[in-house]
Amino acid sequence: MKEEKAIHLVKPMLGKKRWEHTLNVRDMAVKLAKIHGEDPEKAALAAILHDCAKELPKEEMLQIFRENGTMAGNVEERPQPVWHGVCAAIIAQVRWGVEDEEVLSAIRCHTTGRPGMTRLDKIIFLADMTSKERDFPGVERLRKLAKKDLDQAMCSALESTLSFVKDKKQTADPMSAAALEDLLGNCPDKEEDQDE
Ligand SMILES: [Fe+2]
Ligand SMILES: [Fe+2]
């Protein structure tokens, strides 16, 4: 699927603000792809598709999971904020015929990460967190880190996500802790970097 087709399909599914977010994620994903040697077209496509299910009612997502049990896996047992990524990957594949496994994976794990993340997975995760409109404390530092080193940026981003969820007394998805555990080996300078 080409980016223009994805835009045509996703834009009507999202409100104005979320569509702007989506375009900002696309811009950041393309930027990171170019820096880190990833295919910018793949990054743009995954970014445009990543939040397509975000505004679907819970019942509709559940219906989609029931109809696509193998792809949905145990998603219903995971925290609800995680559902829309899995649901978006199913919609992209089943309804819209997206076959690129790397694109589907990046959409699927964009909220949580996963162990064994590919470069494209990391780019979409980080583009989603550092898109232009994001303004949480530390976002500028994370933007710089994402341009410099995807693994270190992922470690930092997952740590923030996990502590944010903990502070809000929400349940963390075990996949995020597993993703962090997996990445820590690639972040030897992380502690030093944190102390900056
Ligand atoms: Fe999302
Ligand atoms: Fe998003």
Domain CATH for 13 = 1.10.3210.10
CB-based neighbours (< 5 A) of ligand 1, an ion: 51
85, 46 Cβ separation under 8 angstroms: no
Evaluate the CA torsion angle 73, 61, 112, 89 in order and state its sign.
Answer: positive
Q: Check whether 48 has a pLDDT greater than 70.
A: yes
* Residue bearing the bigger pLDDT, 64 or 160: 64
Q: What is the mean pLDDT of residues 160-178?
A: 91
pLDDT at 174: 94
pLDDT at 171: 87
Distance 84 CA to ligand 1 centre (A): 7
pLDDT at 190: 54
Distance 50 CA to ligand 2 centre (A): 6
Distance 91 CA to ligand 1 centre (A): 14
| Domain range enclosing 49 | 3-194
Neighbours of 164 (CB within 10 A): 12
Q: What is the mean pLDDT of residues 119-134?
A: 98
Q: Report the run of H or E that residue 10 belongs to, with start and end.
A: helix 3-10
17, 25 Cβ separation under 8 angstroms: no
Q: Check whether 5 has a pLDDT greater than 60.
A: yes
**Domain total in the chain:** 1
Residue 74 amino acid letter: N
**Angstrom distance (rounded) from CA 65 to CA 79:** 14
